[in-house]
Amino acid sequence: MADDPADFGHAPVLLERCVALLTPALAREHSDGSGAVLVDATVGAGGHAERFLTDLPGLRLIGLDRDPAALDIAAARLSRFSDRVTLVRTRYDDIATALAESGCDPMGSVHGVLFDLGVSSMQLDHVERGFAYAHDAPLDMRMDPDTPLTAADIVNTYDEPALADILRRYGEERFARRIAAHIVRRRSVTPFTTTGELVELLYQAIPAPARRTGGHPAKRTFQALRIAVNGELDSLRRALPAALDALTVDGRIVVLAYQSLEDRIVKDIFRAAVTSRTPTGLPVELPGHAPEFRSLTRGAERADRAEIERNPRSAPVRLRALQRVPRHDAARRATHGG
C-alpha cells in the first residue's frame, strides 16, 4: 500500500506525540484543519506529513527539503493530497522566503511547524550518498547534491588544524588531533575517495581500547563531516528564530533532534523564547518584554522502549515543543506567576 511507511523506507519518529502536540493548534479554528497551515521544514519521505494530511482533510501543508530525491519521494507519497500540498526545494533556514513564495506571510501566519532534524533513514539507506560508515561508497555526504562541497573535499584539502577543529566541534571527537594527523599523512600519498578508506584509517588512528567502547569508531567523524558539509548547525540557528516568527498566536512548533549539538541549539533558543526580557528585580513586566512562548514539554522527551524496538533510529531522539501565547497572557503569567 502507498501509505505503508515501509514502502518508503521511512518510519516517522515519535509520530503519535507529534500529532498530539501539533493537532490542537492545527484544529483550533476548524476540526478538519481548514484554514490552518503546517510547515514541515524537513519533509523527507513525508511520513509525518502524510499523517497530518490524512487526519485533517482541510489542512494545508508546506514541505521543505534541500534534497531533490527526498522531494520526489514525498511528492509520490503525498500525491493524493496534491491540492493541499506545496513542496519547496530549499534549506530550512530559508523558511521565510519559502512561505512568502507559497503565499503566506513569514510573520505570524503559520499554525504549526515541525522539524525532524539530522540525516534521514532514506539518506542513510541510499549507500551511494556516503552518509553511512557501514558501507563503502563515494565520500560525499551532501544532502543537496548541487552544492559544491563534499566530505572528500574537506578530508583532502583542509589543513590539519581545520580538520581537528571540525572533528572536535561537530563530532565531539576526543582523538580529533590524532585523526587529523593521520588523515594528512595518508592523503599525501593517496587522496581519499571512499567512505571505506576513511573508516580503515579511523581504525588505525583511534587507540584499540577506545574502539571497544562508545559505539562505532567512525560515528563521531562521520557526524562531524556531515555537519560541516551541509552547514547544519548554522542553518538550524537561523531557521528556528524564523520559524518562531512565522507562528500565529496559539501556533505550535515541535523539533526532533538526534544529537547533542542540535539539541543544545534548540534548548538555548527555546529557553530564550520562554524567558522574560524584563530585568530581574523589577516588580512588574515591562511592556513588550514578556515571553511570547510557553513550553509544551518538560525538558526533552524521548522515545519509549517499544518505539525504539520497532524503530532503532528513534533511540537518540530528543523532542521539544513550544506554543506562542497572546502578549497579554504572557505578561499576566510573568507578573502573577500563572
Q: Which has the higher per-residue pLDDT, 123 or 205?
A: 205
In tens, the pLDDT along 141-157 reads 999 999 999 999 999 99
Least confident of 59-68, 110-119, 207-216, 225-234: 207-216
DSSP 198-262: HHHHHHHHS-HHHHTSSS-TTHHHHHHHHHHHHTHHHHHHHHHHHHHHHEEEEEEEEEEE-SHHH
User: What confidence score (pLDDT) does residue 212 get?
Assistant: 83
Categorize the per-residue pLDDT at 288 as very low, low, confident or very high, splitting at 50, 70 and 90.
confident
Amino acid in the structure at residue 99: L
The average pLDDT across 86-113 equals: 97
Instruction: In whole angstroms, give the CA distance from residue 23 to residue 321.
Output: 13
Question: What homologous superfamily does CATH list for 15-116+232-324?
Answer: Vaccinia Virus protein VP39 (3.40.50.150)
Categorize the per-residue pLDDT at 6 as very low, low, confident or very high, splitting at 50, 70 and 90.
very low
Overall pTM > 0.85: yes
Least confident of 139-148, 151-160, 198-207, 320-329: 320-329
**Residue list, annotated binding site for S-adenosyl-L-methionine:** 46-48, 65, 92, 116, 123
Instruction: Check if the beta carbon of residue 242 is closer than 8 Å to that of residue 316.
Output: no
User: What confidence score (pLDDT) does residue 337 get?
Assistant: 43
Categorize the per-residue pLDDT at 9 as very low, low, confident or very high, splitting at 50, 70 and 90.
low
CATH code for residues 129-230: 1.10.150.170
Compute CA distances 192 → 139, 176, 207, 220, 225, whole Å.
8, 18, 21, 18, 13
**Residue list, annotated binding site:** 46-48, 65, 92, 116, 123
Domain boundaries, the chain: 15-116+232-324, 129-230
